[in-house]
Amino acid sequence: MAESAGGGEPRLPEELVLWEILTRLPAKSLLRCRAVCTSWRRSLTSDTGLLLAHHRRQPALQLVTTGDALEGRIDALDPRAGERRPVARTDRAASPTDLDLLAACDGLLVVCAYGALHVCNPATRQRAPLPLLHAYHISGLYPHAASWSYSYRVLCWRKEPHDTADGRAVYYVHTVGSTEVRCVGEPPEPWATGDIAEVMPMLELFHPHVLVQGRFHWRLVELPGRKYNNMLVFDTVAESFRHVETPVEGDLWVLEDYQNNVWSLKHRIKVQRPVLFLVQDAQGDVFINSKKKGTRSACGTCRSGTDGSVLTRYEWSGRLNLKRHRFKESLVRHAFFPTEGNGSVDETPLFNGLSAVVLLPDDNSEPD
């Protein structure tokens, strides 16, 4: 430890405090630390490297949308801490267009709120509209790998011509904050036309992409009487599509060797009621969303590598949608967000009235 300037009690070096201690704090606590001194305020506001280090150390939390006729909410689940953390809310939720989560990346969310599209950062409570994308289906949000300015792009698509039954799926890219939407072409057959093009909106709702090595991957499609045994892949740098073959059959498989397309079966999960949704996180926890008795929804977790039994179960009394997106808090600044006093506040807030972190209602009783 370093000696203090007055020769008193030894103190930790400021660099050690900033990079090894403060970067482990939640975003809200880190924001409060800016009031300690001028140097901390400067570092915790504008040091992009420090803020990125903080982001990398935050837990990746599972996101759910929930609510009723009075409000809609996006919450983050932390099963290890037994907490539900509020992320965003609207003051009504009569339909999914009042609040729905469409994409997530690096602490940023693309949401549909009050019938309009927005990109937002819940940690800083900033948001910006995406007015050019109202006529498109959102596929994903991603950082531009060839850029060092932290620009983000939205991959989206629509049928063309849109007013015909045999329209083709055409994909576009929009850089957040720009004034254009660029066409990047069609995916290979059979993804661009026919039945698959028709079910793509539903496929992206229940089985969104996985971003691996700068590429979006969509799961194989199963239609009545047919099965296409490949995944659709979009390269975000080359902005091109291709196919990747998948295992013939299986439960939960891991892509061990990406370059050589080698898969291995790691484990199976046993559940005792119909499963509506299943998501695995980076720590090996598997989230299962299923129905129990009437309108109550249950969300359970089990650990990969065990016998597949459910470890913890939580219940909601209202609508619950387990999303295939995760949230890691980020305080990195982005130029596409309006500054305070320049359009950042409007009549349709996303973050007003958020409650504090609450404990998840734990229900470890036996399933019916």
Query: Average pLDDT of the chain?
Result: 77
Q: Which domains, ranges and CATH numbers included, belong to the chain?
A: 1-57 (no CATH), 61-263+321-359 (2.120.10)
Q: Pick the residue with more confidence: 232 or 222? A: 232
Q: Tokens representing 127? A: 């948001």
Q: Which amino acid is at 34?
A: R
Separation CA 15–CA 346 (nearest Å):
39
Range of weakest confidence among 96-100, 136-140, 194-198: 194-198
Confidence at residue 321, expressed as pLDDT on a 0 to 100 scale: 77
Confidence at residue 7, expressed as pLDDT on a 0 to 100 scale: 57
Range of weakest confidence among 107-116, 138-147, 153-162: 138-147
- pLDDT tens digits, one per residue of 76-119: 988 777 788 889 988 865 566 678 899 999 999 999 988 889 99
Q: Average pLDDT of 55-78?
A: 86
CA proximity to 175, closest of 206, 201, 142: 142
Which of 11-25, 194-208, 234-248, 348-362 tops mean pLDDT?
11-25
**Sheet holding 319-327: strands in order across?**
319-327, 61-67, 72-78, 83-90, 358-359
- pLDDT tens digits, one per residue of 265-299: 776 655 554 444 555 555 556 666 555 544 445 55
Q: Pick the residue with more confidence: 359 or 187? A: 187
